[in-house]
Structure 1
Amino acid sequence: MNHDVEDLLRHHAPQVLGALVRRYGHFDPAEDAVQEALLAAARQWPRDGVPDNPRGWLIRVASRKLMDQLRADEARRRREEAEAALAPRDAFTAPPPGEGASGEGRAPSEDDTLTLLFLCCHPDLTPAAQIALTLRAVGGLTTAEIARAHLVPEATMAQRISRAKQRIKGVPFRPPRPEDRDQRLAAVLQVLYLIFNEGYTATSGRELHRADLAREAIRLTRAVRRLLPREGAVTGLLALMLLTEARSAARTGPHGELIPLDEQDRALWDRDAIREGTALVEEALAEGPAGAYQLQAAIAALHDEAERPEDTDWPQILALYDLLLRRAPEPDPMAELSRVVALAMAHGPEAGLVELGSFEERLAGHHRLDAVRAHLLERAGDTEGALAAYQAAAARTLSVPEARYLRTRAARLRDRDRDRAGQEGQDGQDRQEGPDVQPSP
């Protein structure tokens, strides 16, 4: 599918879904209808051209499909869907451009997307269900991608999403009450964080970076911040996204290969995003006690401010990770892995390897554990151990660029070890032959 069309559909999808849910309710069938409308657009728009009012087109098609679906349900469950059966047919058509989707003069907008975010994070849902449903309905991730992000089987995640949809069936489409806001805001921010992470480093596929998801997460976070400009967690999350995404242009080579942070061409980093992100970090830290997003943003700022890898303030980064883990409400294995790397950079790879063993069981089988172990063993000079760890990590990741990078590191180690062995053999031979070839005094 054309990338411009794909970006357009991703931009409008949550607003279209929000418009349908706001007017008709029925979250689950509304989402199905929107998905059918998106598929129709993906087939027709590249061939016939994008309509003048793409959002109106999607609403019109999705509304008609929803109407058909509700009427079919009415035939089977007349009592449960009596309201849908009584709705006039023209109530399910899209308004002309400029008119509201609900007939009330208000067009679907970012407000609908944000209300949809809060609906997906309803307090009747568990935190895990809130995150899964929002990633599916607003972020557009597949069930398989969400399952990989949560390290659970796809079937388990499918059941979780289905139960979440049933749980919020009939819930009014409106912003949360003030007493519910903090709880649901925390879930919304975690969802946006996960969407961004999936975009910045895709969990599977041939592409390392899914720019569409990363941009969508940043766009939605900006929208939340416009409504809540004094929330330190919102400001910190936006700063973290900007400071991380600023490095995206330098993370891959001409053939899509992964380039680690210490080997990146820092001239390719987006300095405007770094300046904005750094200013937001300072603002977020001044808005109250530093939470997880503010601390992670401060760590990202230290990385981005270093002109060279050797200029990185690893002791300060280590101190921030210590504070982050102390304040975390529950263990965070990924943050612990990052802390191990910071510890190794500040105090040597051996210190990092000792620390790695303290929580190895919790991440057994995860490719990032093997990748960190390989990196530390390589720095410690254990070529054989590093080779095995790189190969294990490459076999376990579902990301093609990550697997290629890990195998390349292993191949470099093998070549280096072979060259060293060959040189040592040549040196030994030179020493043995030395007396016979030395010139006479």
Structure 2
Amino acid sequence: MILALRKYISRLPEKIWFRAMLFSVGAIAAAAAAEWVGPMIPYEADLELASGSVGDILTILASSMLAVIAFSVSIMVSAYGSATNTATPRTIALMLADDRSQNALSTFLGTFLFSIVGIIGLSAGYYDDRGRVILFFATIAVIVIITGTLINWIQQLSTFGRMNDLIGRVEQATSKALRWHGEHPFLATQPPVEIPEKARPVRCDIASGVVTSVDMKRLEETAEKHGVTVYLAIHPGKLVYPARPLLYLSGGDADAVDPQPFRDAILVEHDRSFAQDPRFGLVVLSEIASRALSPAVNDPGTAISVLDSGLRCFEVYAQACSSPEEPRYVRVHGPEIDMADLFTDFFIKIARDGAGIVEVQQRIQLCLLALARSWPDIFSAAASDASRNALARALEAIVYKPDIKDLKERSQRVVDSRPT
């Protein structure tokens, strides 16, 4: 429950309603504070015309912002639908967390509420002459903010929800997760070792779901408290069910330890997330490519763009692996990312759906060659297996002999790059 609450709080900035609420509260406070700030002015301001016209300005703002909010919401909903139909529904979470669209919608809503509160205050005689002057200058400041937000929002609308925008968002989220795992191998714990035969399994006590987060600090503290060693059997993104062990306990009086605190350190939810699960990002990228390669769409260019994005993601991981941080937790042995699984999630699925498209198969072999030659210790083994797999699929679908010969030569270069 604590881990779920902490994750919920950490996700609040990604919620549209949360940022809109903050902007709205700030706008209402600004409009209400004008009367309190007025008496602090040490002189009489000679701005009767300006302060008298503030009501008209606020009325214009209120009516225009209501229209802008309705327009913006319709545009965002349309973009979400377009992303679902052209890419994959899994990209919606990244679009909902977009900072610029949230800031725009929140600013528009905050301006609307600022105007409404200001109009109500003026109609009720809440402001004196000084308060009206302060409200006038606050309105001018709001107009400046709205102008900048509108310019930024118009620029955002030119790319929001487009294919390149969606691929870029998924690439950024995937690269972030892969970079963290490269810098913190084994989830910042000790390397995996063989689990003792008498180690006690701790199984999932709820319905099946997906591991989205592991609180390593809490696992370490609980293990230290009971004098046991923890062997994690799962990784973020793994499907768990009541019969599957989450971890194993060994040492001390492991059989008498209450397993619930260890279970509470592992958050199981219904849907995967990009945060600690790099495989999910690669799966989403491959889904975009698969949709593009479907007969109904037939867009190999998008699949090639996805392959280039995936290549950059793996490069980020390799660069992060070159300078890993020291393990933070000594009583926990974490799992290792299987590079073969990552390549299967990404390259093999695209190779399957693009088996008969020569340019896609060529780009797959080129990306595998780039990884195998640039970082052979990390990628060469998995790249060789993926290259053979992709070639086998292509040979069943491509009949033109020069293309077959070219793909065989490309695949052989990938295989030859594997250290002997």
Structure whose alpha-carbon radius of gyration is higher: 2
When you count strand as a share of all residues, which structure comes out higher?
2
TM over 0.5: no
Where is the helix percentage greater, Structure 1 or Structure 2?
1
Q: TM-score, length-normalised on structure 2?
A: 0.30
Structure with the bigger RCO (C-alpha within 8 Å, sep 6+) is 2
